[in-house]
Chains A and B, each alone.
Chain A
Amino acid sequence: MTAVIDASDVTKRYGEVLGLNGFTASFEPGITGLIGPNGAGKSTFFRLVEGQLKLDSGQLSVLGNPTWGEGAFRRRIGYCPESSAMFDWMTGEEFVIALLRLDGFPKAEARDRAFRAISTVDLVSARERRLGTYSKGMRQRLKLAQSIAHDPELILLDEPLNGVDPLGRATLSALLRDLQSQGRHIIVSSHVLYEVERLTDQIVMIANGRALAQGDLHRIRDLIDAHPHVIDLDTPDPRALARILGTLDHVVSIEFPGPNQLRVRTRSPDAFYQALPDLVLQEHADVRGLRSLDDNLDAVFRYLSEGGR
């Protein structure tokens, strides 16, 4: 299967700041989630794919084309940027029509296409309102409309779920699946894994400008599960509890952050939570509280970016 986007050792600098740092990934047909924390390099990657930025080094091909520069090839791509800035003095409909006309569509066809795209994102009733009066969610939907109105093969959606309410998210999910069924390739970026989990099981994880992991969600989940979870326990006798928990083979380390506290790192949080009640009962341990500190993506990104140490 030919990759839609092939990135090999792509580096992009902004002066001293590294936007992408040897990013290597292959985006297959269908929907792919580009997951990473804020500042990871997602928008930089999209701008490179879009031809808005020049590569400093590496290779990047999109639908078999080099990316930088102008030309008819752009019409094969639809881009929904993260920024919510728009031409506030225009109406929603004028905005989409104008962009379609820049793509070379005659006036009548541009009108038809704009109306269809605006209908798709459920903004027909607001299409004659000025963009300055649109809410953030409405802007997100209109940005999406302009990115699909010209029927592109590849659609790049940069954080499209920001500011969209739950109903809007469900609508967007349905729309993206519909576009996928029409043979479109879609790349959706987000810093929230569960948002993208609902759309696709193809994931590329990015942090500090590098692709940390790529593949289906199950593989990524395995990596996440391998991440040593940190669990804090409150107990009046931390040393006694440490001796008990130290017998578990999945416990990586034990620390004493406070006089009545114990911090455990485990490679298998499920097994830990399963074993803890039995150990407490058998050994008469006194556990008065328990907290998991890093059930979040940032911790996983940090773990993966440090090479799984």
Chain B
Amino acid sequence: MPAEGDFARILVVASLSFRSAFRGMRTLGLVAFALVPSLLVLSLTTAHASPASMENAAQVLLGLLTLPIVVMVVVLVIAVAQFRNEIDSETLVYLTDRSVSRSTLVTGKYLGAWAASLVLVVPAALLPLGIAGAAGAALNPTVVPLVIVAATALASAVYVGFFLFLGLVSRSALMIGLVFGFIWEELLLLLPGSVPRLTVSYYVRCFLSGEVQTGPLSGFPTGVSVPVAVAVLLGLAAFFVIASVWALRNLETAPERVSA
């Protein structure tokens, strides 16, 4: 019998991860959270704000709320659960006791979690602009949405990798992830000098300001060029995937009662 290659196995793991991300009441909570920026922009229409104000608001919300907070939290919840829930519930053993490599498992989990995150965060990023556009804002209908999708995908790619790794190495991954998102990512951005370069948000903002020519998004720092920002973000994502493979290869799954 010819055994299927790693690619087919990656797809199997990715499919399992994708499906597991959308179960239970957690999904409803994430959807509701992802809709917050859209609801805020929608509230401006009821206040009869001008189309230009709405477009501005949509861009500001994208830079200050959607990318650093909504995307981060949604990805955190989805990605941490991939390994941490399975370790805690002892279901990971079903995957690790198969003749599938740890790198395949991590890659599959990464892709599944990334795809699941994008399903929630891309609409969360685009919908406010769509609402502004529907209200008459003069958006570039092609470039801006594409740039926003790319920025969302890049930010998610790094966050999924980091939170996947956290879920493997720490029982307190959710708490550490929140501290990372709200303290590290937010506070370091406010510090002077090169300190903001230590955050993911800095490179996402550089990417946005390099690609969007008008509006608040164009006013972000341009400390690094778009290609460098993309390379750093993709490099970070790859680094965390590799770190996760290392962590899974060294992970021991003890029985529920450790003395058993």
List residues of chain A with CB under 8 Å of any chain B CB. Answer: 14, 17-19, 38-44, 47, 50-54, 69-75, 77, 79, 81-83, 85-87, 89-90, 98-99, 101-106, 109, 146
Contacts of B35 in A (CB 8 A): none
Among the listed stretches B5-13, B200-208, B215-223, which one makes contact with chain A, having 4 or more residues with CB under 8 Å of it?
Answer: B5-13
A85 and B91 form a contact (CB under 8 A): yes
With A87-B16, A103-B100 already in contact, 17 other A-B pairs whose C-beta atoms are closer than 8 Å: A19-B260, A44-B260, A47-B253, A47-B255, A70-B102, A74-B97, A75-B99, A79-B93, A81-B93, A83-B256, A87-B94, A90-B19, A99-B98, A101-B4, A101-B9, A102-B100, A104-B4
Assembled-state Cα–Cα distance A158/B141 (Å)? 60
A14 and B258 form a contact (CB under 8 A): yes
Assembled-state Cα–Cα distance A89/B15 (Å)? 13
- Whether B249 is near chain A, meaning CB under 8 Å from some CB there, is yes
A-B contact pairs, 12 of them (CB 8 A): A14-B258, A19-B254, A44-B254, A44-B260, A47-B252, A52-B97, A75-B98, A82-B256, A85-B89, A87-B91, A102-B98, A104-B9
Cβ distance B102 to chain A, nearest Cβ, rounded Å: 5
**A79-B97 contact, Cβ under 8 Å, with A14-B259, A52-B252, A53-B254:** yes
Considering only CB atoms, which chain A residue lies closest to B94 in the complex? A99
**A102-B256 contact, Cβ under 8 Å, with A70-B249, A85-B89, A89-B20:** no
B9 and A14 form a contact (CB under 8 A): no
Cβ distance B258 to chain A, nearest Cβ, rounded Å: 4
Count of A-B residue pairs with CB < 8 Å: 120
- Whether B2 is near chain A, meaning CB under 8 Å from some CB there, is yes
Contacts of B256 in A (CB 8 A): 82-83
Cβ distance B95 to chain A, nearest Cβ, rounded Å: 7
**A109-B91 contact, Cβ under 8 Å, with A70-B101, A99-B98:** no
Cβ distance B226 to chain A, nearest Cβ, rounded Å: 39
Assembled-state Cα–Cα distance A291/B66 (Å)? 73
Which one, B4, B12, B93, B259, contacts A52 given CB within 8 A? B93
Which one, A41, A87, A146, contacts B260 given CB within 8 A? A41
B99 and A39 form a contact (CB under 8 A): no
Assembled-state Cα–Cα distance A50/B25 (Å)? 35
Contacts of A87 in B (CB 8 A): 16, 20, 91, 94
**A83-B90 contact, Cβ under 8 Å, with A89-B19, A104-B4:** yes
**A109-B1 contact, Cβ under 8 Å, with A19-B258, A70-B101:** yes
**A106-B97 contact, Cβ under 8 Å, with A39-B257, A82-B255:** no
On chain B, the number of residues with a Cβ less than 8 Å from chain A's Cβ atoms is 36
Cβ distance B100 to chain A, nearest Cβ, rounded Å: 4
Contacts of B102 in A (CB 8 A): 70
A52 and B2 form a contact (CB under 8 A): no
Contacts of A75 in B (CB 8 A): 98-99
Which B residues, 18 to 38, have Cβ-Cβ distances below 8 Å to chain A?
19-20, 23
Contacts of B249 in A (CB 8 A): 69-70
- Whether B96 is near chain A, meaning CB under 8 Å from some CB there, is yes
Contacts of B190 in A (CB 8 A): none
Cβ distance A129 to chain B, nearest Cβ, rounded Å: 16
Assembled-state Cα–Cα distance A89/B214 (Å)? 46
Task: Output the residue of A14, A47, A74, A104 with the most chain B CB within 10 A.
Answer: A104
- Whether B3 is near chain A, meaning CB under 8 Å from some CB there, is yes
Considering only CB atoms, which chain A residue lies closest to B8 in the complex? A101
B258 and A77 form a contact (CB under 8 A): no
Assembled-state Cα–Cα distance A54/B13 (Å)? 25
Assembled-state Cα–Cα distance A204/B20 (Å)? 40
Considering only CB atoms, which chain B residue lies closest to A76 in the complex? B99
Considering only CB atoms, which chain A residue lies closest to B254 in the complex? A14
**A98-B12 contact, Cβ under 8 Å, with A81-B93, A105-B3:** yes
Which B residues, 42 to 93, have Cβ-Cβ distances below 8 Å to chain A?
89-91, 93
Assembled-state Cα–Cα distance A98/B1 (Å)? 17
Contacts of A44 in B (CB 8 A): 254-255, 260
Cβ distance B200 to chain A, nearest Cβ, rounded Å: 31
Contacts of A81 in B (CB 8 A): 90, 93-94
Contacts of A85 in B (CB 8 A): 89-91
A53 and B3 form a contact (CB under 8 A): no
Contacts of B100 in A (CB 8 A): 70, 102-104
Task: Output the residue of B90, B98, B100, B257 with the most chain A CB within 10 A.
Answer: B98
Cβ distance B231 to chain A, nearest Cβ, rounded Å: 31
Contacts of A50 in B (CB 8 A): 93, 97
Assembled-state Cα–Cα distance A3/B1 (Å)? 28
